[in-house]
Structure 1
Amino acid sequence: MKLWKLPFYALAGLATLASSAPIDSNSTIAANDKLVFCHFMIGITSNRNSAADYDDDMKRAKALGIDAFALNIGVDPYTDTQLNFAYESAARNDMKVFISFDFNWYNTGQATTVGQKVAQYGNRPAQLKVDGKVFVSSFAGDGLDIQQMKAASGMDVYFAPNFHPGQGDFSKIDGALNWMAWDNNGDNKAPSAGRNVSVTEGDQSYTKALGGKGYIAPASGWFFTHFGGEVPYSKNWVFPGDLLWFNRWREILTLGPRFVEIITWNDYGESHYIGPLSSPHTDDGASKWVMDMPHDGWLQMSKPFIAAYKAGAKTVDPYISEEKLIYWYRPTPKGVSCDNTDTTMEGSPNNSSGNFFRGRPNGWETMEDAVYVVALLKSPATVQVASGPNSRSFSAPAGASAFTVPMGVGPQRFALLRNGQTVMSDTSLKDIVDSCICGLYNFNAYVGTVPAPSTIDRLGPVGLASLSQGLRTACPTNTLGANRVAVASATGGVILPSSFPATTTPGPTPTPTPSPYYS
């Protein structure tokens, strides 16, 4: 969960088993209120110098419809400094926050210490309270003495930890967070032959164990981590992403849980961030696969889904107020070999966690070589996509729909048409290439939108501090968009339009057929 994050606990055995606005800072949370949280890593924010450094995150989250940040903390010497900044910023931006104790760093014998930390912040104006109780969560922590923790806090506590069915005592908690937002094999890795625990199976396991108590359903779009021997926390695997962000939000609308937690705002090391690259943070080495890979499009896509969820709706369609295309893809086909230059191919990394693998990330076979497009439309239109030489045209209905195009090397172009006239179009700032960017196997996702944002989201100097550590090839810094500038210069300042096919495929394509690794 943070710099030296250990593997999160496996969910072994799971296979058997209102208004869109955020809450008002002075409001009381009713039992039927639906709330959206977003996991926020305090462990990488030591470079923030005041509450003002949190203001942009708070404002962006509030505009999206997020009610509270779950502030993940370990035992770093700067934790209290940053918690104070975050609580202060949240209060003045009408946001809520709560502490999520990371039990990679705390241990379950520290119930009194945890309770004392709850007491330290529980009466702050920005503290989230649910059912009149101070809301507290965790990452892992099965076995914590809950009665002792609550006694040490001296407060009424709504404790919704990341306990696991069959491991933690669900009779003593008020709710629970399910962290596993990705299909998996039941042992913290991607699905494999005969071993697939879907996210919806995780939902079922948790709701059964909770017996009507508050369920925090997870929502995430991606997972990829690729630390080699250049750091002491080596790990290298993926969970299948593909159309997960779109499909998961539709599942949440069907499920209608009391709480949803987006995983995450700023965990760049595992590539499941929806917050901006420019959000102030230190570099744990993830800049190698995060640089030039913004995810803001996922943030934008979730806004109407959050509104629909809070209203108790089963479809997002009536909540689409702004038409746009959101697209994402990996920067290289999975067959490109980077063995000669990848950072995981050298040294003798510590693999006591069992999470380190050389070369391509463990689970890479479960990923599709595809470009994914989600259309948010008020009325039907034609969506055109050209991924390198692969072009497709789709009839998109009003509402939200998703399409898949085979990945092609070269520029990535997207357009929306009605009655043969282009409504909006753009060429992505990132081409798909058949070479190894920075010498790495990069299985992170590039996420873009049409219309495109007015500015390019970039990592700051501190967020790039460890970029060169362990690299074996040259790695130019923050080059996103450079190819478009070159094209515009060569054409007198105008980027030439690209042609699309005349044929149209009726309706949205279905979710890609699962590979044999899912069966």
Structure 2
Amino acid sequence: MRHGDLAERQFVETIYVTETIWIDAIPTETSPSSSIDAGQPTTQIEVAAMAVPSGSIIPDEEESAVSTSSSAAIGVQTNTAIYGLSQATNPIDTFVSSSSDIISDSTTTDAPISSASASAVQPQGITISAGLNVTLGGSGSGSSNTSTGNPIKINSEKKVFAHFMIGIVYAYTLESWLEDIALAKSKGIDGFALNIGLDSYSQPQLDLAYKAAEQSGDFVCFISFDFNWYTVDNVTGVSDMMKRYNDLPAQFKVDGKPFVSSFIGDGFDWAAVSQGCGQEIYAVPFWAPTQENADNKGLSGLFSWTAWASKDNGPIDAPLTTIQDEAYINVVTKANKAYMAPVSTWFFTHFGKEVPYSKNWLFKSENLWKERWDQILELGDKLNFLELVTWNDYGESHNLRNWGGLHSDDGCSKWAEGLDHLPMLDLSIPYIKAWKSGAKTPIVERDQVFYWYRPHLKSAECDASDNYGSKPDGWDIVSDSIFVTTMTKLGGTLKVTSGSNQPVMKLVEPGVQSIEVPMGAGKQVFEFSTLSGGYQKGEATVDVSDQCWKPLTGNSVSTV
């Protein structure tokens, strides 16, 4: 059935709508509607048709019928082992429509749909009387580029790296490295930035990392020296470590120069390191964005660690902007050098009296992963390299790799163990492809839904049993919300039931859309119908609680 035929369809049923539809952050209960006019949508797939641009094709009725039986659902659910995340992070899951290719790829545009209770909605000139309050896209920002089916032209000079903490993997084997590299490669990551301090096992683990990268093929490494441990006068130590790996096949090079980076270390003499190595190096350290630093003859560029919104390294109630990126871009452009930008998911740390380095705060980053990737595409060719922060820093909750394997535990298992972050890597794939190809919007090749949330309401009080004794700084600026991001070729409908709250239903536009739904204690249920013919209904395996979060290690931990 083509879109233009929708107005001619006749429906005789009487439908009563009693759902609550969340519009502009205000729950509004709709009143029951009387008999529906001709053209009234009676199934989710038909409601979703309002989001289809003129000229798009909808499957025939027999092909697009939505089953309400889980056993007959068209879509398949992946990543079924959903776990709750920590105070600053949230349970995640992904819906993947197995029939996302039923409709041929097409370029789409926004459908001008307004919302009105039991009033006429007029998308693309077709009047549909709907007894629902419906909005397109939700409260977050969206993008609407979809795959065209044409070959994607990738700029091979653009690279995406993941920051890997060597300091916690003293027991890694070659097999451990091969597994991590295989996972990273499958998600569009080109290499690891290997963060090292002065641990005795740094060199043996670097040896294994470079060997595994070489065996894996098409994967590179470079060292990121951590100047929390290295000192600015340790030129010999840095030079000697680099010389061991500079000529290995897996060493990342630019114009034949071994690439190297750092965490802090402003003022370090990288030109002297180049002399010590006996060859030119390509140094892109995390230094402040000053013109003096950019003009430093020992540097080839600058890296930023501003991956979260903060002030004086403390939380602020504001989103991350690109102001700091632009500061870096401005100075490196004048010096004709490179800029490597950071991308991160969340930040939460909660080390208490059990360790000598107690720290207890979060940065507001609830929807940061999606928003930051949108910023990356907007900055586009101004960025030479990206570094995902981080692959495995569990203590600060921005790990993309799940907890597990042969690494140490400094106490962060209380909020990291058993918590699934891997779907966030899937969310990044369309953005990585778009950035490398020069596109300004993500390249959507299949229909998916991602959702994440804290496993508890922030009103829970747990100070008496908490390892730190108080909630983290910044707990009051986060919201009790379910965060959902949809990726679709043609759009669709999303229904979220959070605990005892009334269900929330949204029409979503094609592309990547971000939606925020009020959180309720209890089970979390998600239902998704796409105009590609896919349907999936699933229940998260982690309920939202109004009590203290009980970590999988069995210890009590504070809540946000």
Cα–Cα, structure 1 residues 418 and 262, in superposed 2: closer, same or farther, change >3 Å?
A: closer
Cα–Cα, structure 1 residues 431 and 472, in superposed 2: closer, same or farther, change >3 Å?
A: closer
Q: Which deviates more, 134-143 or 412-421? A: 412-421
Equivalence map 1:64-75=2 (5 Å): 64-75=187-198
User: Residue 381 of structure 1 aligns with which residue?
Assistant: 492
User: Residue 516 of structure 2 aligns with which residue?
Assistant: 404
User: Residue 404 of structure 2 aligns with which residue?
Assistant: 278
User: Residue 84 of structure 1 aligns with which residue?
Assistant: 207
- Aligned partners of 1:168 and 1:283: how far apart in 2? 40
User: Is the counterpart of residue 122 in structure 1 residue 246 in structure 2?
Assistant: yes
User: Residue 251 of structure 1 aligns with which residue?
Assistant: 375
Shift of 1:335: 1.7
- Aligned partners of 2:405 and 2:389: how far apart in 1? 16
User: Residue 188 of structure 1 aligns with which residue?
Assistant: 313
Cα–Cα, structure 1 residues 176 and 281, in superposed 2: closer, same or farther, change >3 Å?
A: same
Counterpart selection for 2:332 from 206, 210, 234:
210
Shift of 1:417: 1.6
- Aligned partners of 1:119 and 1:311: how far apart in 2? 34
Shift of 1:112: 2.1
Cα–Cα, structure 1 residues 167 and 234, in superposed 2: closer, same or farther, change >3 Å?
A: farther
User: Residue 505 of structure 2 aligns with which residue?
Assistant: 393
Aligned to 1:292, the other structure's residue is in SS state coil
- Aligned partners of 1:109 and 1:382: how far apart in 2? 59
Q: For residue 456 of structure 2, what is the amino acid of its counterpart?
A: T
Deviations 1:106-165 (A, max 9, x none): 011112211221111111111000122100001111010122121112222100000112
User: Residue 63 of structure 1 aligns with which residue?
Assistant: 186
- Aligned partners of 1:385 and 1:164: how far apart in 2? 43
- Aligned partners of 2:163 and 2:223: how far apart in 1? 10
Shift of 1:220: 0.6
User: Is the counterpart of residue 161 in structure 1 residue 273 in structure 2?
Assistant: no
Shift of 1:84: 0.6
Cα–Cα, structure 1 residues 126 and 287, in superposed 2: closer, same or farther, change >3 Å?
A: same
- Aligned partners of 1:272 and 1:199: how far apart in 2? 18
User: Residue 224 of structure 1 aligns with which residue?
Assistant: 348
Cα–Cα, structure 1 residues 330 and 214, in superposed 2: closer, same or farther, change >3 Å?
A: same
Equivalence map 1:12-161=2 (5 Å): 33-48=157-172, 50-94=173-217, 95-161=219-285
Aligned to 1:236, the other structure's residue is in SS state strand
Larger-Rg structure: 2
What is the count of residue pairs matched by the alignment? 401
**Structure 2 length normalisation: TM-score?**
0.68
Q: For residue 487 of structure 2, what is the amino acid of its counterpart?
A: L
Quick check: 2:446–2:487 contact (8 Å CA) kept in 1? yes
- Aligned partners of 1:300 and 1:362: how far apart in 2? 30
Shift of 1:436: 1.2
Shift of 1:168: 6.9
Aligned to 1:375, the other structure's residue is in SS state strand
Aligned alpha-carbon RMSD (Å) = 2.4
Q: For residue 536 of structure 2, what is the amino acid of its counterpart?
A: M
Extract unaligned runs of 5+ from structure 2: 1-149
Equivalence map 1:417-436=2 (5 Å): 417-418=529-530, 423-436=535-548
* Percent identical: 40
- Aligned partners of 2:158 and 2:530: how far apart in 1? 37
Deviations 1:340-394 (A, max 9, x none): 111112xxxxxxxxxxxxx111112221211100111122110111111232111
Quick check: 1:150–1:156 contact (8 Å CA) kept in 2? yes
- Aligned partners of 1:62 and 1:411: how far apart in 2? 34
Q: For residue 549 of structure 2, what is the amino acid of its counterpart?
A: I
- Aligned partners of 1:21 and 1:59: how far apart in 2? 23
- Aligned partners of 2:293 and 2:534: how far apart in 1? 57
Equivalence map 1:303-452=2 (5 Å): 303-316=429-442, 319-345=443-469, 359-390=470-501, 391-418=503-530, 423-438=535-550
- Aligned partners of 2:248 and 2:531: how far apart in 1? 56
Quick check: 1:43–1:73 contact (8 Å CA) kept in 2? yes
Relative contact order higher in (CA < 8 Å, ≥ 6 apart): 2
